[in-house]
Structure 1
């Protein structure tokens, strides 16, 4: 394990002491809000007083320095685990930053012939998937800093990853989505085709019933657990669909964000196959992370 106080030097990467340096400032309390309000109340129930609008700080409370972070819209190089550990792909290496201890660990180095294109934590536990420019998917036990498996099957870079409880899905520039089961001997248990361009967004629903995928073809697809073709197709976006998220509170509620020339966040009901609403953000909606 490598900490920020005892950096490990490598000729292929910048010194760890220059990575994830942060500044501490004032931190305001966070209050979650929902975009959905209910009109009216049950008979005999007194409605609570309206909440004051949430104030979003204009300045961050931490700033992490991340040299060699690729400026590429289609890559997914940052992911936060349920154990409060941030994984970041920098060049051909993956680093972990523990938000509780501020400790920095260099998890892996792919070598000079490959680079990191995506990282994705399993929903629970300490497994981290790493998608590479050469089309491979590596699965690491981050707690032990040990590689568990390397899977192949993609012909081009793997820029999108998404875990369900049992499967790991990987999306590639080769236009395909591969399903991996780390319990199975085979590298790939199924292959999903339908996008006409690079798959840059993937997200499993919280109940593992549906997988949403977004592509550089401006399409948003929904797949079920057993489908080999998309069961729903949405084409309202006018730019690449990278940002995708499911509501953890309402089954079938899906949000998607389009790129710079689209600027919209759209809400969908996959149960009724309907478009619910659209919000123009006035800038790129491609970085939506959570509802």
Structure 2
């Protein structure tokens, strides 16, 4: 028989834990007389059970605010300064030579000073008074943007074509959508859907655009025609010719209707005269897919598939500026309502940039690479913010803060390129359309949602999704 040495028993992790456990009661030791260094806090406070759970989007904003406060407190405690001060300046002022001699100041004692409750040694927190003041300062309410649409509408036959403009929102709160050969109107007040027109089997809708007053709708067709519809009467009142190819972009300037086509022409039409058009702009070498008049109504911005962005003066047919910084098709153009002469433009898949232009001198003010195809741009009517919709490869919607171009929120929901964008007349909501044949309504600029906008996902034809 072979005897093996007896193994000494080893302590299990549970026994180690039992030996290392400490009691939950702490009695401070004041034997040294230094109350300030001997005092320790108890444990962390238990969180309140009745607190409201925040949605994910709001949680991110709260966490970001808390991280900023934490950084400020750390800088106050370590460097003796706030996050927004210059740390090097503070350190330079406090740091002196080790060989310098400074006469100590005489300490003045006041009666009952050592027993005053305001003394730091009696404080229930280890942080300084400055940090306590920072933590107790009321914070600005965090802005919450819902990451999910408040309404989804089915839009069968909504084309997945980058060069078309098939969605627009009127000043009377009606949404127009071009689906195949038909134009449908959706009322945001009562969610009623009506069919405005049907172009028949040999034509299709390629663009829609509302007049500023919201009573007339311009419809561009694949055959190069432009129709003018009176919404109150529900009938077509004019039809303009002049283009030899589809009309993919439209823009109103008072009583002047401007159309851009695949035939590379831009035509101005005055609806008060009988002529088909009164002025022709020639400058693009490929299809015109983006058109916007500025708010002063004296400059026109046109973007084309030739990667060019051209600024036109209302009184001349010669280009005011020919801007060639984009390296892909320019469909997204939007004028700022807050700053005179500020224009934003976005490039396609090979470009992916948003550029900002000063149209008073033709200079590029700023630019940013978004990482995705820029399909649409729209400025907020109430704040200095910008909405962009994107295609390849993330199909996202981004809310930007201008001029810092900080991303306030990123909205994801479409499974195809977000090719269409329109803003509500009050400037609070946006609608986006994509090749996945859905229209999604997002609440991006207001703080609260109305009750009537929380009806869930509906179909454009009234069927439940």
Q: How does 1:122-201 map to 2 (within 5 A)?
A: 122-201=211-290
SS at match of 1:83: coil
1:260–1:286 contact (8 Å) kept in structure 2: no
For residues 267 and 284 of structure 1, the distance between their equivalents in structure 2, rounded to whole angstroms, comes to 16
Which 5+ residue runs of structure 2 have no aligned equivalent? 1-54, 58-137, 380-385, 387-465
Q: In the TM superposition, what is the alpha-carbon distance from 1:55 to its structure 2 partner?
A: 3.7
Look up the match of 1:10.
none
Q: How does 1:11-26 map to 2 (within 5 A)?
A: none
Q: In the TM superposition, what is the alpha-carbon distance from 1:226 to its structure 2 partner?
A: 1.2
Q: Please, what is the CA RMSD of the aligned residues?
A: 1.8
TM-score, normalised by the number of residues in structure 1: 0.81
Structure showing greater relative contact order (alpha-carbon pairs closer than 8 Å, 6 or more residues apart): 2
Which 5+ residue runs of structure 1 have no aligned equivalent? 1-25, 29-48
Distance 1:111 1:51, change over 3 A: farther
1:99 equivalent in alignment to 2:188: yes
1:61 equivalent in alignment to 2:61: no
1:70 equivalent in alignment to 2:159: yes
1:70–1:91 contact (8 Å) kept in structure 2: yes
Q: In the TM superposition, what is the alpha-carbon distance from 1:53 to its structure 2 partner?
A: 6.0
1:263–1:286 contact (8 Å) kept in structure 2: no
Q: In the TM superposition, what is the alpha-carbon distance from 1:56 to its structure 2 partner?
A: 3.1
For residues 145 and 245 of structure 1, the distance between their equivalents in structure 2, rounded to whole angstroms, comes to 30
Moved over 6 A (4+): none
Alignment counterpart, residue 170 of structure 2, candidates 65, 69, 81: 81
Count matched residues.
246
Distance 1:230 1:66, change over 3 A: same
Distance 1:273 1:113, change over 3 A: same
1:207 equivalent in alignment to 2:296: yes
Alignment counterpart, residue 358 of structure 2, candidates 260, 269, 277: 269
Distance 1:229 1:53, change over 3 A: farther
Which protein has the bigger helix share?
2
C-alpha offsets along residues 81-106 of structure 1, whole Å, 9 cap, x if unaligned?
A: 11111000000000000011101010
Distance 1:280 1:146, change over 3 A: same
Distance 1:50 1:142, change over 3 A: farther
